[in-house]
Amino acid sequence: MKIGLVLLLMLSSGLMAQTSMDSIATLRGDMPIAEQAAAPRMEQVENFDVKRQRSYPMQPPTVPHKIDGYQVDLNQNRCLTCHSRRVTEVSQAPMVSVTHYMDREGNFLAEVSPRRYFCNQCHVPLTAARPQVGNDFQDMDTLLNSTQ
Amino acid sequence: MRTAVSSAWHTLNRPSRYFSIGFLTIGGFIAGVVFWGGFNTALEATNTEAFCISCHEMQANPYQELKPTIHYTNRSGVRATCPDCHVPHEWTNKIARKMEASKEVWGAVFGTINTREKYLAKRKTLAQREWTRLKANDSLECRNCHDFEYMDFTRQSKRAEQSHSTILASGEMTCIDCHKGIAHELPDMRGIDLGAPNSDTR
């Protein structure tokens, strides 16, 4: 009896795995497990130095330049050599905004807050790659206009 | 002892009995060429990347760090090797650098940087030596490949053009002032200018 139940369970879970394999889209696409798909072409990072529109006011802006080889660690933060308050006159880069100096209680610190030190957690450069999945995000202005 | 020396001197001092003056001149010249060539060949042999990284310290640290950078692989396939950036081309400067390098061989033999930890601890001193050298010679080694005369600003990114057409063009700063750490990881940079005057990383 017990053994029969276990067998049944095993069989059904096997079946379920089979069906979910077929219906769920994976990054592998149609590729069988044992085979390796040809890697898609690597896209170039956009390096046009033109700021991009933000989708909502709180969005961390995407980086409009390449950041190859920019070292950000305990020894040095390459981003801040252009974006920190004291150097923007020479670099002509936008200064990190005041939120970068705030701790989570909202106090303003004298220097960039540790939680904003690793810039690439929030800011990323873009490539010209086509999105893998569709996106029907609409910004606030579009929504407001459509209800009027 | 004394007699041996003086007899040897006599032999050397005596006019040649068997060889013509022409033979001696030409022979001497050829011997000179051979020795000089040999010296320079030895010099050239030590002037290759293979020689630099035959030393474990250099293979394990700077070489590994160079690999992911643009000076190792890039779209045009032109490479910079260790001596391209670290050894001057002009002969006298080259010899001077080689004498200095002998000290580094000493360092390798006695293991001053034979572990990653020791290397990292020493890195700031070593890096500063290179920055001082490149600052003093107006980044000569960079300019051997990157000639300001032939830089086309219209083909550079806006950020590059903005810096190159102003601060670099006026001679206020040189390549190494702004481009530290292009080939290796940087040491603790507190207190060191990176392109902008008074810059620190805050």
Confidence of residue A4 (pLDDT cuts 50, 70, 90): low
Domain membership flag for residue A114: yes
* pLDDT, position B181: 94
| Cα–Cα–Cα angle for A94, A111, A72, rounded to 5 degrees | 70
Q: Do B195 and A81 touch (CB under 8 A)?
A: yes
CB-CB neighbors (< 8 A) of A87 in chain B? 195-196, 198-199
| Residue A61 belongs to domain with CATH number | 1.10.1130.10
- Do A60 and A122 touch, CB atoms closer than 8 A? yes
Phi, psi of B181 (to 5 degrees): 75, 25
Share of chain B above pLDDT 70, in %: 69
How far apart CA B184 and CA B127 sit, in angstroms, is: 10
Is the pLDDT reported for residue B22 higher than 90?
no
Nearest to B162 among A81, A85, A92 (CB): A92
Mean pLDDT in residue range B172-192: 92
- Computed over its alpha carbons, how large is the radius of gyration of chain B? 24
How far apart CA A41 and CA B168 sit, in angstroms, is: 36
Q: Is B188's Cβ below 8 Å from some Cβ in A?
A: yes
B163 vs B93, residue with greater confidence: B163
Domain membership flag for residue A119: yes
- pLDDT, averaged across chain A: 85
Q: Do A86 and B194 touch (CB under 8 A)?
A: no
CB-CB neighbors (< 8 A) of B189 in chain A? 75-76
A31 vs B43, residue with greater confidence: A31
* pLDDT, position B13: 64
Is the pLDDT reported for residue A8 higher than 60?
no
Amino acid at B65: E
Confidence of residue A1 (pLDDT cuts 50, 70, 90): very low
Report which of B63, B52, B115, B60 is spatially closest to residue B87, judged by C-alpha positions: B52
Q: Do B162 and A71 touch (CB under 8 A)?
A: no
Report helix, strand or coil for A39: coil
Domain membership flag for residue A70: yes
Among A3-7, B61-65, B144-148, B149-153, which is the least confidently predicted range? Answer: A3-7
Q: Is B201's Cβ below 8 Å from some Cβ in A?
A: yes
Is the pLDDT reported for residue B139 higher than 70?
yes
Our CA dihedral for A113, A118, A121, A123, rounded to 10 degrees, sits at 90
Report which of A71, A7, A136 is spatially closest to residue B187, judged by C-alpha positions: A71
Amino acid at B198: N
Confidence of residue B191 (pLDDT cuts 50, 70, 90): confident
Is the pLDDT reported for residue B196 higher than 50?
no
* pLDDT, position B104: 65
Confidence of residue A148 (pLDDT cuts 50, 70, 90): low
Domain membership flag for residue A92: yes
Cβ pairs bridging A and B (under 8 Å):
66
* pLDDT, position B73: 94
* pLDDT, position B106: 60
Cα distances from A16 to residues A22, A88, B123, in angstroms, run 10, 59, 58
Residues A134-144 pLDDT 10s: 889 999 999 99
Mean pLDDT in residue range B49-64: 90
Cα distances from B49 to residues B54, B66, B67, B72, B198, in angstroms, run 8, 12, 13, 12, 36
What part of B 157-186 touches A (C-beta under 8 Å)? 157-159, 162, 167, 181-182, 185-186
Domains held by chain A: number: 1
- Do A56 and A136 touch, CB atoms closer than 8 A? no
A7 vs A28, residue with greater confidence: A28
DSSP of A73-111 = SSS-BTTHHHHSGGGHHHH-PPPPPGGGGB-TT-PBPSS
* pLDDT, position A3: 58
How far apart CA B95 and CA B40 sit, in angstroms, is: 10
Best-predicted range by mean pLDDT (A7-11, A16-20, A65-69): A65-69
* pLDDT, position B200: 43
Mean pLDDT in residue range B75-81: 94
Domain membership flag for residue A73: yes
Size of chain B in residues: 202
How far apart CA B115 and CA B151 sit, in angstroms, is: 41
Confidence of residue B190 (pLDDT cuts 50, 70, 90): confident
Among A38-42, A80-84, B162-166, B195-199, which is the least confidently predicted range? Answer: B195-199
* pLDDT, position B88: 77
Q: Do B70 and A49 touch (CB under 8 A)?
A: no
CB-CB neighbors (< 8 A) of A83 in chain B? none
Phi, psi of A129 (to 5 degrees): -60, 145
Give the domain ranges of chain B: 1-45
* pLDDT, position B202: 36
pTM of the complete model: 0.86
* pLDDT, position A42: 87
* pLDDT, position B25: 74
Q: Do A69 and B195 touch (CB under 8 A)?
A: no
Confidence of residue A37 (pLDDT cuts 50, 70, 90): confident
CB-CB neighbors (< 8 A) of A45 in chain B? none
Q: Is B194's Cβ below 8 Å from some Cβ in A?
A: yes
- pLDDT, averaged across chain B: 81
Domain that holds residue A59: 41-130
How far apart CA A90 and CA A106 sit, in angstroms, is: 29
